[in-house]
A and B are shown apart, each in its own frame.
Chain A
Amino acid sequence: DTEVTQTPKHLVMGMTNKKSLKCEQHMGHRAMYWYKQKAKKPPELMFVYSYEKLSINESVPSRFSPECPNSSLLNLHLHALQPEDSALYLCASSQDRRRNQPQHFGDGTRLSIL
């Protein structure tokens, strides 16, 4: 079992749909991350939130919109996605932004765009 919970585990959506991915942790961590992982590739960082503020956006297209409503929750809102956005989306958290803090990963949401 992971301490970072992601829902849903699987999501299939059309290119015109709007959906959201959810990530939750109750470890008191103040840094949270979204990664995108294509098959047989390492994860790619998308966004970093620190103390509920967006601190890194790795030039992600605006069809991906992150939100951190409180210190335990991280959402990723999806709109007008493209087939190439099909991937595993991983959430992670760490105690804070200081280096040498391990990141704890969720099991991911497998997203398929039709």
Chain B
Amino acid sequence: KNEVEQSPQNLTAQEGEFITINCSYSVGISALHWLQQHPGGGIVSLFMLSSGKKKHGRLIATINIQEKHSSLHITASHPRDSAVYICAVLTQGGSEKLVFGKGMKLTVNP
């Protein structure tokens, strides 16, 4: 079992829909990252959070430390949101290594 699990693995939505991407982890963490990767490569860091909730534009990220679960919400989705969304955790214990989930491919159709 992976230390970081994401669901669903793929999601197709219509423009304007509200989208939720889930991430569960099984290890102690110091922080959790939500990353976005468009086809062709580059990774953009959307959020880093260790508690509570953060909002940036149409994106909202929440984390529940007790339940070891985080969600990324996209409101009023747009075709340009089509990308792979990756959850990654910074594990506790002195390591600066990120442990990545397998990612979720989102396709938003016009």
- Name A residues whose Cβ lies closer than 8 Å to a Cβ of B: 2, 31, 41-43, 45, 48, 56, 88, 90, 92, 94, 97-108, 110
Contact = CB atoms under 8 A, between A and B. Distances in A.
A107 B41 CA distance: 6
Interface in B91-108: 92, 96-98, 100-103
A63 to B, nearest CB: 22
Contact of B45 (A41, A88, A99, A104): A104
A92 B102 CA distance: 19
Contacts, number: 56
B82 to A, nearest CB: 15
Interface residues of B, number: 23
A92 B45 CA distance: 11
* SS of B interface (majority): strand
A85 B31 CA distance: 31
A105 B33 contact: no
B42 A48 contact: no
Closest 7 A/B residue pairs (Cβ): A107-B42, A42-B100, A105-B43, A108-B41, A99-B30, A102-B48, A100-B31
Contacts of B72: none
